[in-house]
Amino acid sequence: MLARRATRRTHAHALQHALGCLKPVLDGAERAELLEAIEQYRAGLLPLIVPITLLKHHLRHHPHPHLAGQTYFNPDPPELALRYGD
């Protein structure tokens, strides 16, 4: 169990960190699309699964050693991947 419950702000921060790791391999349009999805999530306009799915898509095409083993992108059990809330 985590000491503190994750918030939209902390999720958005984690997603922006992942975006930063992929920044060298993404073009401007891809970065803008991902940043927009993160900001829309932070504002409560999109569920968390949307920016995570977009990041996972880019990670399949551009594997990153630091992000590859993160449980954040591959939760166990798989049912946790349906994170629609905060």
| Residue (of 23, 72, 81) closest to 49 by Cα position | 81
Its domain, for residue 29, covers: 8-82
DSSP string computed for 7-72: -HHHHHHHHHHHHHHHGGGS-HHHHHHHHHHHHHHHTTSS-THHHHHHHHHHHHHS--HHHHT-TT
Output the pLDDT for position 78: 62
**Residue 27 resides in a domain:** yes
Output the pLDDT for position 2: 58
**For the whole prediction, is pTM greater than 0.95?**
no
**Residue 63 resides in a domain:** yes
**Residue 75 resides in a domain:** yes
Per-residue pLDDT tens digits of the chain, which is 86 residues long: 457 888 999 999 999 999 999 999 999 999 999 999 999 999 999 999 899 999 999 999 999 998 987 888 776 666 665 555 54
**Residue 25 resides in a domain:** yes
Output the pLDDT for position 3: 76
**Residue 74 resides in a domain:** yes
How many domains is the chain built from? Answer: 1
